[in-house]
Amino acid sequence: MMTDSEPRDVRFAALRQDALGHAVAFGGQAPSIHNSQPWRWRISEGALDLMLEPRRLLLSTDPDSRLAILSCGIALHHARLQLAALGWAADVDRTPMGEDGETSGPLARIRLGSHGAADPRAVRLVRAGAGRRTDRRTSPSAPLDFDRLRSIADATRTEGADLRFLHRRQLFDLAAAVEKAQQVEREDAAWQVELEAWLGGRRPSGTGIPSEALPADPYQLVAPGRALRRAGTALVADAREQSSVFGVLSTAGDDRADWLRAGEGLSACWLTATDLDVSVLPLSIVTEVATSRDMISNLIGWQGYPHLVLRFAVSSTVQPETRTPRLPFREIVEYE
C-alpha cells in the first residue's frame, strides 16, 4: 500500500502499473471470434504490449489470422478506453507482426503519458461495456431510427474503419452469400471439427461459446456449430419481415494493420451501439469464405475490404442469463 511518505515518482509509477492492469482487465472483456480471446498482454514500466496468442488461433476458420487480429483490435480499443476513463493520456504504436506468419512480436504498444481528468465519453462507453451482450435473438421487431445508426457509423469511422448499411433489396444477395459460405463449410471436415471444438457444451477453459449462449435449436438434431450457422442464415432470410438493419464493417486496405483498425472500429461501433440501446450481432461466416467475401465486396461497390456483416436491432429488455466465459487475468498477461 502506498503512503504519503513514499517519493512522488514511486507513487506515480505504482499508479501507472495499476492503470495498465485495469486496461488489461477491461480489454479481456472484449468479444472475439468464437470467444477464442486470441490476445496476450505484456506489462512493462509505463507500457503495455498487445500480442497474438498462437495457442488460441482458429487454423481452419481463420487461416491468415485476420479475424484473430481483428479481435485483438477490439481488445486494444477497450484498453485505450479504460485508460482514458481513468484520466491517462496514452500513445499507441501499432506495429503489426511481419507478413511471414510470425506471431511472437507485438501488434501494438500503449505508452502512458500524463495523468489528468477522466474523459467523459470514455467513462460512458466503459460503463456501456459492462452491459454489452451478443444479441442472438431471431426476431427483433422494433424499428431503428437513423440518428442512432449515424452515430454508430461515425464512431466506427473515427477509428479508421468504415461501416456501410445495406438496403432492403440487398438482403437477397446477402442471404445468397451466407448460403454459399455454409455450403463450403459443410464440405470441409476440418472446419466442422474446429467449430465443434469451440461451440457448445460447458467449457471450463474460459473460452468458446457454451450451449446456453447459443440460439435455441427447435429441432435438437444438429451439432452446436451448425445450429449457430443455420441461425445466422435464418436471421438474414427473415430480415425482410423485421426491423433489423445490416451493415458491413470494412477497411480501405487488407493487411494486418487494417485488420487491427477494423477491430478498433468494431469496438467503438459496438460500445456506442450499446450506449444507445442498440444490440449488435456479428456474422463472420460471410467473410470466412473467399467467394462469399467477394459477394459482400460487391454489395458495397468494391469500396474497401469487408471483414464482418453486423446486424443491428433495438436492444431487448430481457438480457440472456448466460454470458460467454472469460479467461482469468493471470492467463492473459505477463510482466516484464
Contacts of 82 (CB under 8 A, 6+ apart): 22, 23, 25, 26, 27, 122, 126
134 DSSP β-pair partners: 280
State residue 310's pLDDT score: 95
Residue 283 lies in a domain: yes
Please indicate, yes or no, whether residues 43 and 73 belong to a single structural domain of this protein.
Answer: yes
Quick check: is 173 in a domain?
yes
**Do 77 and 173 belong to one domain?**
no
pLDDT over 70 (residue 230): no
Burial class of residue 217 (count of CB atoms within 10 Å of its CB; 0-12, 13-18, 19+)? middle
Same domain, 74 and 168: no
What pLDDT band is residue 13 in, cutting at 50, 70 and 90? Answer: confident
Query: Is the pLDDT higher at 218 or at 10?
Result: 10
pLDDT beyond 70 at 240 = no
161/286 same-domain check? yes
- If asked whether residues 162 and 193 sit together in one domain, one would say yes
Residues 106 and 19 in one domain: yes
Q: Are 155 and 293 in the same domain?
A: yes
Domain range for 71 is: 8-131
pLDDT of the residue at 218: 46
List C-alpha distances in Å: 270 to 10, 89, 163, 311: 37, 23, 12, 11
DSSP-derived secondary structure for 167-220? PGGGHHHHHHHHHHHHHHHHT-HHHHHHHHHHBSS--TTS-SB-GGGSPP-SS-
Q: Is the pLDDT of residue 63 over 60?
A: yes
Provide the pLDDT confidence category of residue 78 given band limits of 50, 70 and 90. very high
In the chain, the number of structural domains is: 2
Q: Residue 133 has what pLDDT?
A: 83
> Are residues 185 and 122 part of one domain?
no
118 found inside a domain? yes
Domain membership of residue 190 (yes or no) is yes
CATH of the domain at 90: 3.40.109.10
Give the three cell numbers for residue 3. Answer: 503512503
Q: Are 48 and 20 in contact (CB under 8 A)?
A: yes
Q: Does 283 lie in the same domain as 215?
A: yes
Which pLDDT score, from 0 to 100, does residue 220 have?
Answer: 43
pLDDT digits (tens, 9 = 90+) for 296-316: 999 999 999 999 999 998 887
Residue 137 lies in a domain: no
Do residue 124 and residue 166 come from a single domain?
no
